[in-house]
Structure 1
Amino acid sequence: MSAVSFLISDPSPALQTFTQQLLSGYGFDAAAIKTASTPHAAAEIAASHKPDFLITDWFAKEALTGIALHKTLLKDNPNCQFALLSQASSPTHQQEADEAGALFLLAKPFTADAMRSAVRTALEQLAPLHPGIASKLGAHQASAKPARPVYVAPPSLPQFKPGDRVVYANRTESVKHVILRRGELVLQLDGIPGMVEATKVKRL
């Protein structure tokens, strides 16, 4: 049975981590839960990761919105399902999300319990499509403990964003991608191979 894979695309490292931990709590393999801070970075990751479930910010101000990101993923991964998170929520937004086939649209800020409930419902909808999800849900239900409500504050923007000018190794560089990897914020810089720890970079 193949592992169930997820992709979380949101500008907030805190929200990325929260969603990672939420999915890991169901028993899903942490290595199969990828994150990205921008839709373009998510598209690059999805090219090889091919997620079963995409949870993405609406990215209203990006050229590649959350809905457009999902459409891009569908070209090579037609079974990918998705859900949306948005700072703005209106009947129009909900209609657009429904027409795009989103499993849910969750307005920011939201409580941790609201996110848990939305993800749980989405996983139940996906279970008939992927037996790996059904088995995880059953095991989680048997071991679940009541959780206290926790408020998730409006996700803060990452310390860095694509396009920022920074100093690294005594050179001025430009940030290409911002990624949360295993709880650590790393950057991809133009002209620099690999990833660089955010702690080793100073923003101008």
Structure 2
Amino acid sequence: MFTGIITAVGQIKSAQAKGDGLQLLVEVPTGYLDDVALGDSIAIQGACMTATELTSNTFALDISRESLNKTVGLDKVGPVNLEKALRLNDRLGGHLVSGHVDGVGKVAHFATVAQDPYGSWLLRIDAPKELAPFLAYKGSIVVNGVSLTVNKTEDIANACIVNINIIPHTLENTTLGQLKQGDAVNLEVDLIARYVARMMETRAN
């Protein structure tokens, strides 16, 4: 389990073919791996992965073809959001996050909010239509591993448009500040919303 609060920005240094998937080598800030052991879970761009090799400032992981097919941003060199698995005595700063990507969305708009003295940005994402039942005003969503609050939803023909306001601190301490219109992003819906929807579906049937 995770919280969606990014603990570091790492860098995929290499992505080498392994079986039908890839082996990634991720470089991290000094000291980040001091409390990490082989086999520990680390979320990368919102996807839960297992550390298979460790050095003082890098870790390796194996990513399957299935995971590559269901995510974006894990198949090439570049910066990535990182979060270590939640401990039972940790603060829950974001919301309960499983690290399982539910779908890939597309950035439809990303720009500063006009006349906002705090310098926040508006991020508008076209989310897959099948995720619409789990997205609600003031509900939670994970974008590339970052726990964010939904400010508005709008259902259209083939998608659900999600509006999110992002503060400068989040942009400076995650990879979200590098997003641009047209980029694909990993999305995870709220864990509780998923179970509520399933219970309602079962009851209706």
TM-score, normalization by structure 1: 0.20
Instruction: Name the structure where strand makes up a greater proportion of residues.
Output: 2
Question: Per chain length, whose mean CA-contact separation is higher, i.e. which structure has more relative contact order (CA < 8 Å, sep 6+)?
Answer: 2
Instruction: Name the structure where helix makes up a greater proportion of residues.
Output: 1
TM-score, normalization by structure 2: 0.20
